[in-house]
């Protein structure tokens, strides 16, 4: 029952994100609205992390499984993608490297800030 309540809370926030997407005329995906809403709820303490943590961890652990339908769709569209395949590969590698570099720099900045705070 605990897991159903946790999953229900996550689904409710996702539904709220869908509603925001329908009513706010901005080109922001519903999933992003849901993530922003969940972040606000967690930061303000409206939802305690302990109340959804186990189900969220489970959903993250099965995330690769969720990509299978998208991959099958790509395989179905192979003839449409083939002319742009080299560009897509280059773009994917380039953006992956950029994201890794930015995440590394941000992580280093956070660790340095924590060290300075602990030294004071």
pTM value is 0.64
The pLDDT score that the predictor gives to residue 98 is 98
Structure tokens at 81: 């993608």
Question: What tens-digit pLDDT sequence spans the chain (120 residues)?
Answer: 889 999 999 999 999 999 999 999 999 999 999 999 999 999 999 999 999 999 999 999 999 998 898 888 888 888 888 999 999 999 999 999 999 999 999 999 999 999 998 887
Residues 23 and 64 in one domain: yes
CB 10 within 8 A of CB 56: yes
User: Which domain range does residue 11 map to?
Assistant: 1-68
Please tell me whether residues 82 and 116 are part of one structural domain.
yes
**Structural domains counted in the chain:** 2
Looking at the structure, tell me whether residues 4 and 50 fall in a common domain. yes
Claim to verify: residue 64 and residue 105 sit in the same structural domain: no
For the record, the structure tokens of 28 come out as 């922001």
Query: d(Cα 113, Cα 40) in Å, to the nearest integer?
Result: 23
- pLDDT of the residue at 73: 85
Give yes or no: residues 58 and 88 share one domain. no
Instruction: Judge if 49 and 1 occupy the same domain.
Output: yes
CB atoms within 10 A of CB 97: 10
Question: Helices 2-23 and 30-44, interaxial angle, to 10°?
Answer: 120
Asked whether the beta carbons of 35 and 60 are under 8 A apart, the reply is no
Residues 61 and 110 in one domain: no
Same domain, 63 and 82: no
Q: Do residues 62 and 98 share a domain?
A: no
């Amino acid at each position: 029952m605990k897991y159903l309540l946790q999953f229900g809370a996550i689904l409710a926030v996702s539904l709220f994100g869908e509603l925001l997407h329908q009513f706010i005329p901005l080109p922001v995906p519903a999933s992003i609205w849901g993530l922003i809403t969940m972040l606000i709820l967690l930061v303000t303490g409206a939802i305690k992390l302990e109340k959804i943590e186990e189900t969220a961890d489970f959903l993250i652990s099965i995330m690769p499984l969720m990509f299978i339908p998208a991959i099958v769709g790509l395989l179905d569209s192979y003839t449409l993608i083939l002319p742009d395949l080299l560009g897509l590969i280059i773009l994917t590698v380039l953006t992956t490297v950029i994201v890794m570099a930015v995440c590394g720099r941000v992580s280093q900045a956070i660790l340095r800030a924590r060290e300075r705070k602990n030294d004071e």
